[in-house]
Amino acid sequence: MDMRQLYMYFAWVVSLIATLGSLYFSEIKGYIPCELCWYQRIAMYPLAFILGVATFKQEFTIKKYVLPIAVIGWGISLYHYLQQKVPGFAPIKPCVGGVPCNAEYINWFGFVTIPFLALIAFTLIIIFMLLMKSNKK
């Protein structure tokens, strides 16, 4: 088996778990997503589909499409996590409607929040895409 295919498969599994996890939190647990959560979902949900199709078609050029989306999602997740955990990092204008972005539905071990989980997922996807070196000889 080609290692590129394995890395792409792992990236797809990570994106699928992250997508299903976010749906679990919102649809089963009833947690209402904030604005930044929606932006992270906008980045993650297509990755689950794109990586799934690319994995089964063995399309290794998908990296050039997946990496920019994953990096943007990573940046949003980092910003969201910093809003939750760093005092004074929240924006000056408060959230006027819906759920504030600094609300923590979960806080496992004092640092694992939903944006942190998304940050880890985007990080893993980026790492797997970077490990997919081209097979030029």
Q: Mind listing the pLDDT tens digit for each residue in 5-62? A: 999 999 999 999 999 999 999 899 988 888 888 999 999 999 999 999 999 998 888 9
Coil vs helix vs strand at 108: strand
pLDDT for 86 beyond 90? no
Euclidean distance between CA atoms 18 and 42, whole angstroms: 12
Contacts of residue 22, Cβ cutoff 8 Å, sequence gap at least 6: 33, 37, 40, 41, 44, 114, 118
Structure confidence at residue 46 (pLDDT): 96
Q: Give percent above pLDDT 70 in the chain.
A: 89
Do 132 and 60 contact (CB within 8 A), yes or no?
A: yes
End-to-end Cα, the chain, rounded Å:
18
Residue type, 15: S
Euclidean distance between CA atoms 93 and 48, whole angstroms: 33
> What is the residue-averaged pLDDT of the chain?
87
Which segment, 33-37, 83-87, 117-121, is predicted with the most confidence on average? Answer: 117-121
